Structure 1
Amino acid sequence: MERSAKDHLFQQIALVTQAIANPHRLELLDLLVQTPRSVEQLAQASAMSVANTSQHLQRLKQAGLVVGERQGTTVIYRLTDPVIIRLWYEIRQVALSLLAGAEWALNRYRPQRQQLPTISLAALQAGMPHGDVYLLDVRPLEEFAAGHLPGAVAIPLAELPQRIDELPVDKLIVTYCRGPLCRYADEALLLILASGRRGARLEEGVAEWLLAGYPLAHS
């Protein structure tokens, strides 16, 4: 009885590890960290079919990681608990710290990451109150609206080439997006530097900001 009870306990825990042992489901978690989304929105953002996205969401739901809430005729999926942000963060950190292949893949996905100037959270917080830094959120607008770093201005990456003249020329422009696995901020920073402005990338995103104990702003 004791052995079977312990086996059952570990089987229940394994539901979580089995659910996240898939790259597509990890990407869905990464997207849901930013904001709740419908199946269709997640499918578009992850370049998967709606049918495949729905199947992956059901696996995550069975493991208690996401929940679907009906809003009219649409089901909106969200993370069930903020602790899942920590889970995703730690999985990512372990992979990047211990697996050379993960670091190689990140460099391949973000080929300019080693050459671009960066800024730390501490330096960002020191510069913002004095007006020395212009913080630019280049994620999609729905992600910005769901929660963003205080003081940030939203210009989605797709709009930035046409709106580059809106940016100041006398401040350090700091770009950020979904975190280190997102290259939107890199691409935005390259445009900013090419325009003759000063810039830097913040590697962290809203997940890291929350895990550091800071509140998000909402529009």
Structure 2
Amino acid sequence: MDSDQKRSFKNELYDQFARMGKAFSSASRLELIDLLAQRERSVDELAEETGMSVANTSRHLQVLKKERLVRRRKDGTRAYYRLAGPEVFRAWRAMRVLAESRLSEIEETVRHYLSDREEMEALSPDELETRLQDDDVVVLDVRPEEEYETGHIPGARSIPVDQIEEHLGELPEDKEIVAYCRGPYCVYSDDAVRRLREQGYDARRLKEGLPDWANGGRPVAEGPA
């Protein structure tokens, strides 16, 4: 391979790598990836979750599909999307962790909108895994039930955050309660811990969500509550 061929080879190779960067360069597409890490969703569901129009949501999904980051299936007239593989979430997570380590604005944004988060004494996945072995904690999955059924921490109970008050009588008062949701910036667990503490429960949140838990090689259960 002469020098011109080497240069052409490198140019073509890095052009292909750059396609991934372009696909990840949209805040809207990052949110879609984060949502699809929970479960398969229709275009309409994704549009409702993100506050985008159906047309705009579909355009972003087509970009992700073109770069083989998501897959689509049709059911009648409806299209459903899912991540193309676990490596897509790992790539998004690596970008998130890098941004957290380099951009102070992220921490400032969290403090601005979640001013009481530091008081919630978040538990790490490793700590929760140990506590589960000791059987001295109750774990609540406060995501929507459909996400729980797709995958959840073994032994976790499904109580969506908007149903916490309805199920207070079912929760033991002599054990610590740990709530988790979609990820470190999902506010469902914050809301759940806040409501539980107002009712006198000893409650904490998990630092990360179900996809992060699974990404660490930890077991995931499936099925209804």
**Shift >6 Å, 4+ stretches:** none
Contact 1:109 1:183 survives alignment (8 Å): no
Tell me the alpha carbon deviations over residues 82-105 of structure 1, each in whole angstroms, 9 at most, x when there is no partner.
111110111000111110112212
Cross-structure match for 2:17: 13
> What is the deviation of 1:189?
0.1
> What is the deviation of 1:29?
0.4
Cross-structure match for 2:46: 42
Cross-structure match for 1:73: 77
Distance 1:110 1:47 in 2: 21
Aligned pairs for 1:70-219 within 5 A: 70-219=74-223
Distance 1:24 1:109 in 2: 20
Aligned-residue Cα RMSD (Å) equals 1.4
State the TM-score, normalizing by the size of structure 1. 0.95
Contact 2:136 2:175 survives alignment (8 Å): yes
Contact 1:24 1:56 survives alignment (8 Å): yes
> What is the deviation of 1:113?
1.4
State the TM-score, normalizing by the size of structure 2. 0.92
> What is the deviation of 1:161?
2.6
Contact 1:192 1:199 survives alignment (8 Å): yes
Identity over the aligned pairs, expressed in percent? 42
Q: Which moved more, 1:134-143 or 1:161-170?
A: 161-170
Tell me the alpha carbon deviations over residues 46-95 of structure 1, each in whole angstroms, 9 at most, x when there is no partner.
11111111011011111111111112332110111111111011100011
Contact 2:72 2:80 survives alignment (8 Å): yes
Give secondary structure in 2 for the equivalent of 1:214: coil
Runs of 5+ unmatched residues, structure 1: none
Distance 1:48 1:111 in 2: 27
Return the index of the structure with the highest Cα Rg.
2
Give secondary structure in 1 for the equivalent of 2:155: coil
Provide the aligned length of Structure 1 versus Structure 2: 219
Whichever residue aligns with residue 68 of structure 1, its letter is R
Whichever residue aligns with residue 178 of structure 1, its letter is R
